Amino acid sequence: MARPFPTDTDRRTMLKGVGVAALAALTSTGGRAAVAAVPTWVSTTKDAPWRMMTVPTPTPGIPGLTSAGELPDVFLNPSAPLQTISGFGAAFSELSWDALSQAAPAQREQALDLLFRRGAGLNLSLCRTPIGASDFARDWYSYNETPDDFAMKRFSIARDRTGLLPLIKAAQARRPDLKIWASPWSPPTWMKTNRHYAQAPARPGQPANGLRPDQIVREGKDGFIQEDRYFKAYARYFRSYVEAYGKAGVPISVVMPQNEFNSAQPFPSCCWTPEGLGRFLPHLGQEMDAVGTSVFLGTLERPNPELITRAIATPEAARVVKGLGVQWAGKGALAELHQHHAGLPIWATEQECGDGKNDWRYARYAWNLMRTYFDQGAEAYMYWNIALPKNPISTWGWRQNSLFTVDPATGVITTNHEFHILRHASGFVEPGARRITTMSVNGYENLLAFRNADGGLVLIIQNDLSEPTSMRIALGARTLAITLPADSLNTISIPAGQA
């Protein structure tokens, strides 16, 4: 069930089920450390989001056994740390800013606080922005549609000053240390073999995109012209973008060369073969080195790790790539990517976007996605749409979910289920945390555990049963016995010195 977003006058009502004292301390001091003096337990169900629970006092026992001599259900092993977490985020888009712009000003400010202000909500710290038009732009555009402008003399980010940059600047005002990475959905059309922003015709029921049959580019073909002068010009395009954004006060820390490089779409897109990407990467790396921006290879959307291996088969391409970006069906390649490219961090670059219903069914799936990525070694996790209107449909006819829904008629913002699902992790797990090893003697693996840099433990557990479930968690020589509400997601945060 969606939750109406509060006004200033009813904030106390919203916080009532969470614990007014704890939330007041959290929001007034600006960080999760404000509640770190005592263990906390937050539980979310379909009808009762973000409910504060009482954490029982752990009971002493022989290491590995409860005080009654029984084996706990779950063991935490903080001495065996796994990957370091880079952060959590979401994606900036024109349609998200347009939706938020239709909200009542006070509610928009509160929503932005909940997204980006430390300690207020999601604590987003690592966000994605498109280079030019994404599928959630108002319409197609690039920063240089002047044919054969290889020197990028006509390059301009003027369009972004009306949509993307206002949203990014609002986020930076609340989170000055926000890190931002970027990728294009399509190069300028004059750099493409079909001279069109799309690669596939519109499907039935979707707006026409004007693509002719002879302009269709299929997966496994290069939609980018494979010539050095085009590679060099496109690398200059990336550099011009990073420099222009830097002058606007928005440093870009990472770029990825193409969103979903295997997908021919009716919206902005460009297919690349792995070998085509491999030819482009040295040019991109040279220009990004000059501006101090890293290159990750992504975003991979196929469950085939060989697509990455082939793209970085040459030493010239391999030395450029500092990390990998994976989304959608690419999650099926995570295990092999983590094993065979162990030196490269992996980011979950886009949570699957749902169908616009924003229902509890998909929220439960969203938790499973997050758990899958972290279980398989991902170091960062990005949500997709920040905010959409009540009719959450893209320019090119796709209905999708979002963290917030805005009613244009009333200006009211609604907080959706997936906001709370993401917050169960991002609200507690800080950048620099380490995922820690867990072990279950009875097959209970529906959980994630982290240790923050301050030494505190964070345990996120789902009870996917329709009835309450009791479990015992081993914390060294102590055992924490809890009963999880039916069909719930839970976060237990134990401060340093008590874990």
Average pLDDT, the chain: 92
Q: What pLDDT is attached to residue 71?
A: 87
Model confidence pLDDT, tens digit, residues 322-355? 999 999 999 999 999 999 999 999 999 999 999 9
Residue 30 has pLDDT above 60, yes or no: no
Mean predicted confidence (pLDDT) in 449-463: 97
Say what the pTM is.
0.93
Residue 442 has pLDDT above 70, yes or no: yes
Q: What pLDDT is attached to residue 62?
A: 61
Model confidence pLDDT, tens digit, residues 383-426? 999 999 999 999 999 999 999 999 999 999 999 999 999 999 99
Mean predicted confidence (pLDDT) in 272-301: 98
Residue 276 has pLDDT above 70, yes or no: yes
Tell me the pLDDT band of 60, cut-offs 50, 70 and 90.
confident
Residue 85 has pLDDT above 50, yes or no: yes
d(CA 25, CA 428): 15
Mean predicted confidence (pLDDT) in 451-479: 95
Question: What percent of the chain has a predicted confidence (pLDDT) above 90?
Answer: 86
